Structure 1
């Protein structure tokens, strides 16, 4: 699964590696479990929804046709 992120102050989505996703989540949720939060994010976005954690949005990369 390819995941894109976008902070609230950004205009474009960026493809983000799993290591960077964990860093972003750790910054946004503080002492909470970043790995557990990433699992939850993946469950939500696999249906095509976007989820916001702190000031960052996450979504599945849309396939180009």
Structure 2
């Protein structure tokens, strides 16, 4: 699964690797469990939805 991210001040989506996803989530949620949050994000976007964590949106890359 390829995940794309977009901060609320950006206009374009970009494909992001898992290490960077964990860094983004850690920046946005602080001391919360970044790995658990990423697992939740993956479950939500599998259904074709976009989810926002802090100031960053996540979605599955469209093929």
Q: What TM-score do the two structures reach when normalised by structure 1? A: 0.96
User: What is the RMSD of the two structures over their aligned residues, measured on CA atoms?
Assistant: 0.2
After superposition, what is the alpha-carbon deviation per residue over 1:2-44, rounded to whole angstroms, capped at 9, x for unaligned?
0000000000000000000000000000000000000000000
After superposition, what is the alpha-carbon deviation per residue over 1:33-57, rounded to whole angstroms, capped at 9, x for unaligned?
0000000000000010000000000
In structure 2, stretches of 5+ residues that fail to align are: none
Residue in 2 that maps onto 1:60: 60
Residue in 1 that maps onto 2:20: 20
- Structure showing greater radius of gyration is 1
1: distance between equivalents of 2:31 and 2:38? 14
Please list every run of at least 4 consecutive aligned residues from structure 1 whose deviation after the TM superposition is greater than 2 angstroms. none
Superposition map of 1:1-65 within 5 A: 1-63=1-63
Give aligned pairs, total. 63
